Each structure stands twice: as C-alpha cells, then as structure tokens.
Amino acid sequence: MFSLQHKKAVVTGAGSGIGQAIAVLFARQGAEVHIIELTEAAAASTLEYIHGIGAQAQVHAADVSSQHQVRQAFEAIGPHNILVNNAGIAHVGKADTTSEEDFDRVARVNVKGVYNCLHEGIPQMRRAGGGVVVNMASIATWVGLTDRFAYSMAKGAVMSMTLSVARDYIHENIRCNSISPARVHTPFVDGFIAKNYPGHEEEMFEKLSKSQPIGRMAKPEEVAALALYLCSDEASFITGCDYPIDGGFIKLNN
C-alpha cells in the first residue's frame, strides 16, 4: 500500500521541515522527487538525504512568487503525477499592525506562489494523464488565531483554491486536497520563536506546544504520512477535502 513507484512528484519548499519530510518519504515510497526551492543550496541537505537512501531527486531553484521562474522549473520537470504546494512564510500581526509591505510579501509567497505552481503544474499534470495536488493550508483557515491576520488570510485563500481546483479538474482525473496542520516542530518554528520572542524561547515553545490539547506539537513526519496517503492511489476517491492534523486543536479547544 501507498506505493509511489513510477510516479513523479513535485514538492515546493522542501529544504527543511514539513517539505523535507514529505520529499524524503515520497522518495522512500518510490517516487522520482523534484524539489522547488529558492536556491539549490537551500535543498542540499534534503537532496543528500534522498540520495543516501538510494532514491532519485532533483532540485530546481525558483522563487515561487515569480511565475517566470516557476514556469522554467515546471518546463524542466515536465509531466508529473503529484504536486505538493508546501512553500510558505509566516507573519505575526493584527490588521492594524501589519504593514503593507509585509501583507504583500505574505500574499506573494503564500497565495500567488500556490497559484503560480497550479498555473504551471496543472498543464504538465494533464500531459501525464492526471494526478493529485496537495496544498498546505493551516488550522488558521478554521479558527481565529491571535496576531496572525495576514497568515490567516493567505491560508484561507489556499483552502479556497483547493476547492476550486478540485471542482474544475475533477473530470480530467486531477484530484486536489489540502492539509491543515496545527503547530509542527520544525527548524522554521524554532527560528520563528527566536525572532519574535527573544529571551522567552523556552517559555513560548512550551506555551505553543500545550496549545494543542494532545500536549505537543506535531512531527513533520506525521504530516508527511498524511500527504503520502492523499497522494497515493489508495485515496483515489478523495478530492475537495481539507484534513486538519491538529492534536485536537480545532474541536477540543473550548
């Protein structure tokens, strides 16, 4: 079960964290993995890991917010069966404390970046005879998170795009779903805490961990396992759905 043999998978933002875990797991399951990262150096450790297990992978340097760069990457990749839109950035701020510059930056990466990959990836997927898209949304699409105005806006857009793609391409053998993680312990999270809560890193890590009723953050590998299922043939009857992986955050925090 869950074999990706003879499939070509594209994973954006796979240099670390969730994206890296997805790329590595997909490679383990037999996929030919193509990583889209801002630079080749950013994905070097992921590439080394995949090659170390005897699997195939290739890195394509591209800024997902640039349609021209994304187009070049997908032209080099060619027809593929799987697209995971994982690349994204975070931001802390309310509506009246979020600068126009920061709002535009989040929108460019988290919204336009997903659009660009769909715009360029779907025609190549069509050439392959169909496939599956998984977009990385967030629990921020389901609940109000404090000080996450721009980020919540962007992830809400990701979920909406997921529904539109699922509807528009259902008769072309293209499925589309999204995943909404709660907090996941990644190097990104550690850096985020260090930048925004200097001097209070341990306190904030503990607080953020315990905000999930299950009492901890998710592991990247747990999110990767869900992505594998949704991209496998075993999930061939699933499209237009969002899957929270949240340790009970949405339903049990009351």
151 is catalytic: yes
DSSP 171: G
Hey, is 131 helix, strand or coil?
Answer: strand
CA distance 134 to 68: 22
Three-state SS sequence of 75-130: HHHCCCCEEEECCCCCCCECCCCCCHHHHHHHHHHHHHHHHHHHHHHHHHHHHCCC
CB distance 165 to 45 below 8 Å: no
| Active-site residue (options: 49, 151, 197, 243) | 151
- Residue 15: phi, psi to the nearest 5? -75, -25
Counting Cα atoms < 13 Å in the Cβ hemisphere of 44 gives 4
Q: Where are the beta strands (DSSP E) in the chain?
A: 8-12, 32-37, 57-61, 82-85, 131-136, 174-181, 242-245
d(CA 17, CA 41): 15
Nearest to residue 131, comparing CAs of 123, 141, 143? 123
Contact between residue 136 and residue 158 where contact means Cβ atoms under 8 Å apart: yes
Question: Catalytic site residues?
Answer: 151
